[in-house]
Amino acid sequence: MTTLDPVTLAVLQGRLEQLVDEMDATLFRSAFNPIIAEAHDASHGIYDRTTGATVAQGSSGLPVFVGSMSGAVSLIIDRTAEEGGPGEGDIWVFNDPYRGGTHLNDMKLVQPFFRDGELFCWLASVGHYTDVGGAVPGNYNPSATESAQEGVLIPPVRLVDGGELRSDIVDLVCAISRVPANAYGDLFGQLNALKLGVSRLTDLLDEFGAATVSTAFVELTARAASLMRSNIAALPDGTHSIDDFLDNDGSVDQPIQVSLDLTIEGDRLVLDFTRTAGAATGPVNISKSTAIAACYVGLKHIFRDVPANAGCLEPVEVRIADGSLLDASWPRPVAGYTETILRIMDLIFGALAEVDPAISNGSSYGTINALSIAGHQPSGDRWVMFTFYGGGLGGSPVSDGLSHGNAPLSTATIPPIEILESAYPVRYTRWALRPDSGGAGKHRGGLGADYEIELLDESAEVFAFGDRGRFPPPGVAGGGPSALNRISFDVAGDELIPPLASKIVGVKLHKGDRVRIASPGGGGYGDPSDRSLEAIERDLRLGYTTVEGSGT
């Protein structure tokens, strides 16, 4: 295979990324569900025709989706192989979280792309649907002990068969949801995104030729692998071990250990998670494909110069014990996968800070605080408000952490108050930075946030799924931990605090009752005694810290 000159390769890399960005934008602008339309909890990618490995991703979609979707595409490759190969004009839909990754809310569409009658690559779309059935509206059910209590699992089925849309499968996807109109709009938004991807990729091949673009696929992957090897080789050899904990699994009130032994051997990196706890009863398990995707995203945060494709992981070996917390299989519950992958990323940040403090950062706030408030409209139809909340990111070698950001598993945004208040019968009575919530350090962790939500409807139920209520996000290089997560409810004037810290099912609210969330900040970076006097004075003046909280 001939090689491409650097200019052509750079142009094709940009065009491929732009193509996927356009697919993302198409779905964001057409989805009915605010979690996709406003929070951008969705992603698109281009995948290798034979392995399903990630070839290109955009800058707007969730990176963890693009990584885990490699498993989803691989699943369809295997499924179509049983039938003699994929069919032109087919699109598959499913939400299998075990080989496809993540959890049941993430609906995946996978389409083979043909050129002159031959399979060239795969296109894929994934988006977080508001509701997919199960015992709890919004599906983050902290008390689930099996998959069926989290939602309805749709195995891979053809949504489009030889170019013909199957209305029965559209009906199925909508029927499993408490808010079928949202599901309908999101599904067709994904179909339109794939249609645009086909059009843009066809134009690209017309312009550059299939052989040239195919060569670019190979060379971009090789470039990512080479850069990752170079970054690893620049670090000192050795093994670094680190442990962290989830508060509990939502069912059994015991901490769950997540452990990493990170080893550097020349230009190879081993991420060994075999000391991690076994499978949990509750929904904090994750599939192996999701765990590997979390490693991919964690490493990309550290080695930012490496192109975002499967080549990132070529010099990396990920070891996961069969049947463990990080190797879930059906029917283990997995709804709270976000909390566990955030712990994986924190371990990577912490271990690499021991290798070289100059390249890493303190832990993020470490929980998305998934919150679902659900009730009934006057017509009797359901309304389900599902959303997540921000917190502080870790201090870094060069600056304080970002305050009130989103979790490092994604590039999603926190839905605006105006959108949530216009779509649901709630009012936000507080949305502010949380003083003293960032970990102390030469560079302070970013601040978490204080939220207060008042119910305006006559009644509703609330379900919360968070973590970091008992084990605060740690700092690195001598930096301190951040504040703990706090969730509470004002019900008829009485305060209700979840017995499991940040997880609770079915709190009954009536008009005027309130939900309160105080999210953690990020862990600090460096010795707090090295913080400049100017920075300390600025924090006090702006209210980021207080005299009481800072110990000053």
Which among 202, 208, 166 has a CA at the least distance from the CA of 187? Answer: 166
For residue 331 the two structure tokens come to 């029917």
Q: What pLDDT score does 473 carry? A: 98
Q: What pLDDT score does 243 carry? A: 98
Q: What pLDDT score does 64 carry? A: 77
What's the rounded mean pLDDT across residues 168-187? Answer: 97
Q: Kindly tell me if the per-residue pLDDT of 377 is higher than 50.
A: yes
Give me the residue spans of the domains in the chain: 6-224, 361-552
Task: Using a pLDDT cut of 90, give the percent of the chain over it.
Answer: 91
For the stretch 202-219, pLDDT in tens is 999 999 999 999 999 999
Q: Which helix (H) or strand (E) holds 120?
A: strand 118-128
Q: Kindly tell me if the per-residue pLDDT of 66 is higher than 80.
A: no
Phi (first) and psi of residue 80, to 5 degrees: -70, -25
What's the rounded mean pLDDT across residues 163-189? Answer: 97
The answer to whether 63 and 100 have CB atoms below 8 angstroms apart is: no
Which among 542, 156, 212, 137 has a CA at the least distance from the CA of 371? Answer: 137
Least confident range from 56-60, 338-342, 456-460, 471-475: namely: 56-60
How far is C-alpha 284 from the chain's CA centre?
14
- 23-36: b or e for each residue (b if 16 or more CB lie within 10 Å)? bbbbbbebbbbbbb
Strands 316-319 and 268-272: parallel
Confidence label for 551 from pLDDT (cuts 50, 70 and 90) = very low
DSSP code of residue 545 = S
As a whole number of angstroms, the distance between CA 516 and CA 38 comes to 22
Q: What pLDDT score does 30 carry? A: 96
Q: Kindly tell me if the per-residue pLDDT of 21 is higher than 90.
A: yes
Task: Using a pLDDT cut of 70, give the percent of the chain over it.
Answer: 99
Q: Is 5 exposed, middle or buried (0-12, 13-18, 19+ CB in 10 A)?
A: exposed
pTM: 0.95
For the stretch 453-503, pLDDT in tens is 999 999 999 999 999 999 999 999 999 999 999 999 999 999 999 999 999
As a whole number of angstroms, the distance between CA 203 and CA 167 comes to 30
Q: Can you state the angle between helices 6-30 and 210-233, rounded to 10 degrees?
A: 100
Confidence label for 550 from pLDDT (cuts 50, 70 and 90) = low
For residue 30 the two structure tokens come to 């057409």
As a whole number of angstroms, the distance between CA 370 and CA 443 comes to 28
Q: What pLDDT score does 63 carry? A: 72
Q: Who wins on pLDDT, 66 or 321?
A: 321
| Helices marked H in 324-416 | 337-355
For the stretch 504-545, pLDDT in tens is 999 999 999 999 999 999 999 999 999 999 999 999 999 999
Q: What pLDDT score does 468 carry? A: 98
For the stretch 398-451, pLDDT in tens is 999 999 999 888 777 888 899 999 999 999 999 999 999 999 999 999 999 999
How far is C-alpha 298 from the chain's CA centre?
11
Which among 315, 257, 256 has a CA at the least distance from the CA of 282? Answer: 256
Q: 465 pairs with which residues across the strands?
A: 370, 503
Average predicted confidence (pLDDT) for the chain? 95
